Structure 1
Amino acid sequence: MDIPVIDLTPYVDATSGEFCLDGVLSPELEKVCLEVSRILRETGALLVKDPRCSAEDDDRFISMMEKYFEMPDEFKLLQARPDMHYQNGATPGGVEVPRSLAVKDMLEKAKALPKEHQPLIPTGADLKWRYMWRIGPRPSTTRFKDLNSEHIIPEGFPEWEEIMESWGYKLMSAVEAIAEMVAIGFGLPKDAFTSLLKNGPHLLSPTGSDLASHGKEGTVFAGYHYDLNFLTIHYRSKFPGLYIWLRNGKKVEVKVPEGCLLIQSGKQLEWVTAGDCMAGLHEVIVTKKTVDAIKAASEANRSLWRVSSTLFSAVASDDIMKPLGHYAQSPLADNYPPVYAGEYFQKELAVIKLNENKKEH
């Protein structure tokens, strides 16, 4: 299935780089916003072209992260912060447990799908490594300090901060643009979502999967799960293997066209729309196509780390999440009671074994 590409170029000022929707919505723009929300509602995913996010920027970022993930594990572990629930610095492989393993009914629902639409069932924690880097300003005061901590910079990477900040802010700009369009498409004020994202604990979170060590077909790098945050954005990966599930339960391989970004709906967006836009389910696995790409990269002497260019946008920790606007009258609204975004996040992290101090309620 081909997901349509939404081009943001007409709404980005070529000089300032600012995204701007007209004060008065034209019928054409309203149609685009309705299309954006329809696609996200039906598929949990969206393909976007944003002139501010270039392939050159992504290449520079990916090259640096390949070098980082190729470093010895002992070096990378120096940047791991289990006391901060791995929400800052490095997360080693074998730590995060896929939600489908941690939550019994999720696994049972997955096994009830038709065989061709079932996920690969992981046998343990995800093999992927990850690096968490906060993007944007933090709140001056917060009751969730562990979710809003300062940066960790690995030694020996002089361009680290500049590259992370530059690429992270560009990805965040694309997220904010889509958040405005989706709000309009869902019949809410234009700033309904972007106001919640202000000072949020957004994370530029490149994921590293070692294909040299774990390149066998059928290997699960990220088990069947949804994202905990608001909207997730990725640039195109060099190695295939990402699958998503549509609202109707159909499993689809994601093919991101060159120069495009993939946006996926997270649990926080589901919360504020009372389930109208469900969190998108997905997995990252080694397929036959991945094996072919590994062989080609090996022959060309390129890195065999599959690095995803991922950013997780999130509702500000001290904001209360609840169904917004007309969604408050939804018959499903009671399933999404008011909760501090930070409190919700800590509970979710406990389920996937990243926050052992908190128990799920």
Structure 2
Amino acid sequence: MELKVIDLKAYLAVMDKLDGEPSKITEELGPELTRSCKEVARYLREAGAVVVRDPRCSEEENEKFIEMMERYYESPVEYKRPQERPDFHYQVGITPEKVEIPRLMVDEEMQEKVKALPKESQPATLVGSDLKWRYMWSVGPRPANTRFKELNGAPVIPENFPGWTETMNSWGYKMIAATEVVAEMAAIGFGLPKDAFTSLMKQAPHLLGPTGSDLKSYGQEGTVLAGYHYDVNFLTIHGRSKFPALNIWVKNGKKVEGSVPEGCLLVQTGKQMEYLTGGDCMAGMHEVVVTEKTTEAIKQALEQNRSLWRVSSTLFAHIASDAVLKPLSHFAESPLASNYPPMYAGEVIKQELAAMNLKG
């Protein structure tokens, strides 16, 4: 299915005035905005992704953020290693390349499902751990008391890197704000109270997590930078990368290019969203693979003497670690709801991280 861009501007103008039960809110929104909310919910359900435009998140700021991360990833390995925090399950600081294991490599049920896909929709063949680096930066307040301290670590700041904290926080807070609007619109589209999701996002371990892939070393067509997987959090949001390489899978199993139009953001469903909707919104499967379009972008970057690090402008929006994940409202009546027994969000995350070799 083609992902039409949903412009958040009209909803942003009225969101603070909305109050009351779902039926009253749809009256307040009017038919056009109600339809937009239902479209957001439909895309998350059917495609595991939605493309949005948020006037608060400019292309210029996305570029500024990516350029800063290019400078960081171009730094020597010995400069980056001190920011590694395996004791915090790599949920803050740097995760070096060849640490994270793609979910497909360790999930036998997923392997069987992939074999059943048509050949043109099967993911790229995996040969080992992911070749990407990733920096996890804590955005937003953390709880004073939590059962999951290792998932709620303080930000790690690289030494002598001008503008780091300001740039990370500026872009991070804007990306969280965008996911909160998508979460509200989705809740309304699903017939839930508007804060059904956002009330669970307060003091959550949101992470700005830009990946860095060295296309000078790994720029050959067909190279898997991040193997077939889903994200473990609630919603993942990406700005546009300079090097196209993302493939996503819609609910019917078809593989499509995860392209982000200029000035837009791509939002994907994670495992926590799957939990809260009782499997109605499945965690979106995706991979990052060097394609012909990637190699064309590499040639262009070489001609323009630009960085050959592919940076993803990515934020992982979470549910609070101490919140209980379970199917909400009418989703509890879903035939799949029994697959999602009540569990602390932090416990679900720890189980998922262990499977990916990230528990340190």
TM norm structure 2: 0.96
8 Å contact from structure 1 (residues 226, 282) kept in 2: yes
Residue in 1 that maps onto 2:18 = 22
- Measured on the aligned residues, the alpha-carbon RMSD in Å equals 1.1
Residue in 2 that maps onto 1:351 = 355
Residue among 97, 106, 112 paired with 1:108: 112
AA paired with 2:68? M
- Residue aligned with 2:169, SS: helix
AA paired with 1:22? L
Residue in 1 that maps onto 2:334 = 330
Distance 1:336-1:21 versus aligned 2 partners, 3 A rule: farther
Distance 1:64-1:347 versus aligned 2 partners, 3 A rule: same
- Superposed, 1:299-314 pairs within 5 Å as 299-314=303-318
- Deviation track 1:68-117 (CA, whole Å, cap 9, x = no partner) reads 00011111111001111110000000000000001122122112211100
- Deviation track 1:245-296 (CA, whole Å, cap 9, x = no partner) reads 1100000012211100000000100001000011100000001111111011
Instruction: Give structure 2 stretches of 5+ with no counterpart.
Output: 20-27
Residue in 1 that maps onto 2:85 = 81
How far off its partner does 1:27 sit?
2.2
How far off its partner does 1:21 sit?
6.0
How far off its partner does 1:155 sit?
1.0
How far off its partner does 1:19 sit?
5.1
Measured in 2, the distance between the counterparts of 1:225 and 1:62 equals: 23
Measured in 1, the distance between the counterparts of 2:115 and 2:290 equals: 20
Measured in 1, the distance between the counterparts of 2:181 and 2:344 equals: 24
Residue in 2 that maps onto 1:228 = 232
- Deviation track 1:112-153 (CA, whole Å, cap 9, x = no partner) reads 211100000211100000000011110111010011111110
- Residue aligned with 1:25, SS: helix
8 Å contact from structure 2 (residues 157, 164) kept in 1: yes
Kindly indicate whether residue 323 of structure 2 is the aligned counterpart of residue 319 of structure 1.
Answer: yes
8 Å contact from structure 2 (residues 11, 33) kept in 1: no
Kindly indicate whether residue 9 of structure 2 is the aligned counterpart of residue 9 of structure 1.
Answer: yes
How far off its partner does 1:32 sit?
1.1
AA paired with 1:151? P
Residue in 1 that maps onto 2:24 = none
Measured in 2, the distance between the counterparts of 1:302 and 1:20 equals: 42
Residue in 2 that maps onto 1:63 = 67
Kindly indicate whether residue 168 of structure 2 is the aligned counterpart of residue 168 of structure 1.
Answer: no
Instruction: Give structure 1 stretches of 5+ with no counterpart.
Output: 357-361
8 Å contact from structure 1 (residues 47, 262) kept in 2: yes
TM norm structure 1: 0.95
Measured in 2, the distance between the counterparts of 1:87 and 1:278 equals: 23
Aligned length: 352
Kindly indicate whether residue 40 of structure 2 is the aligned counterpart of residue 44 of structure 1.
Answer: no
Residue among 33, 37, 47 paired with 2:37: 33
How far off its partner does 1:20 sit?
3.6
8 Å contact from structure 1 (residues 121, 224) kept in 2: no
- Residue aligned with 1:26, SS: helix
Measured in 1, the distance between the counterparts of 2:206 and 2:299 equals: 35
Identity across aligned pairs (percent)?
Answer: 63
